[in-house]
Amino acid sequence: MAHKRGLARAVVLLLTMALVGGGVYTVVSFVQRSETLVSERCTAAVGPQTAELATDQAVNASLITAVAVQRGLPARAASIALATAMQESKLRNIGHGDQAGPDSRGLFQQRPSQGWGTEAQLMDPYYAANAFYDALVKIPGYESLEITDAAQRVQRSAYPRAYAEHENMGRNFASGLSGQTPGAVQCTLRTPEDRGDPVAVAAELEQAYGTLTTTTEGQTLVVEASGSEAWSVGQWAVANAKGFEVTRVDVGGQSWNRLARDGWQDSDAGDGQVRITVSGVPAG
């Protein structure tokens, strides 16, 4: 009898383990499927208008806008640049041209044959953005021109009205990424799988904005900034969250939480700082 009771306990134990294991597998599978179903994207909402970009496009939009901020240019300059880059390259750093301009390269499809720079230079997004702004600021009164007219004066495109299709996107993302509209830019992203590096975030921020005062606290990068600069840096961090494994951004009384996927929410985030937290998940 003792042998039979022991055998029965063993069977019950095995069945219990199987059920628990099956439950864990079911939960894990559900979570994995749920993550796969997340449609990664970034949006910029200003008033009733909302524009949307893919995550890689948002990264380039943040770079182009940060260069304008570093140069002290108005958000209007970034609006013009973003509409131009969307029309020319879909806001992607492409290494080829088209039939009309076979040697065109980069975000703005600038051409070495027209004196924009070497092919290698034009494939550097920072160089390309600065080259565009160098040409833009030479146009008298560009700030008061229609976006499509200003873009055409720089690019001299065969399709001069095409830039108008992207004016709403340009305005919305430029307004948010320049910090003029707090909390405009948000991204919906999957849960990070790798560990982030706050030092790498600091290095990219310095290239984008120039010298910034930063410190690290564990997995959090603290940037000393206030006002529109703080909101520019904060929304830059959201736009770059996928590549740098950013999980949370705190700035000016609001916080963006990647895992919550509920946009910017009121919080106790203080003024004078931007706190950018990256994932602590071990790589691999």
Q: Is 90 exceeded by the pLDDT of residue 158? A: no
Query: 192, 181, 150: which is closest to 279 by C-alpha?
Result: 192
What is the Cβ-side half-sphere exposure of residue 239, based on CA atoms within 13 angstroms?
33
165-178 pLDDT tens trace? 999 999 999 999 99
**Residue 110 has what DSSP assignment?**
B
Q: Is 50 exceeded by the pLDDT of residue 193? A: yes
Say how far apart CA 55 and CA 14 lie, in whole Å: 46
pLDDT at 13: 54
More confident residue, 173 or 29: 173
Average pLDDT, integer, range 125-139: 98
Say how far apart CA 165 and CA 248 lie, in whole Å: 33
228-283 pLDDT tens trace? 999 999 999 999 999 999 999 999 999 999 999 999 999 999 999 999 999 998 75
Percent of the chain residues topping a pLDDT of 70: 86
* pLDDT band of 130, cuts 50, 70, 90: very high
* pLDDT band of 145, cuts 50, 70, 90: very high
Q: Is 70 exceeded by the pLDDT of residue 8? A: no
Q: Is 90 exceeded by the pLDDT of residue 3? A: no
217-231 pLDDT tens trace? 999 999 999 999 999
This model's pTM is above 0.85: yes
The residue assigned the tokens 């590096």 is: 197
Collect all residues with Cβ–Cβ distance below 8 Å to 266 and sequence separation of at least 6.
253, 254
* pLDDT band of 31, cuts 50, 70, 90: very low
Q: Is 50 exceeded by the pLDDT of residue 51? A: yes
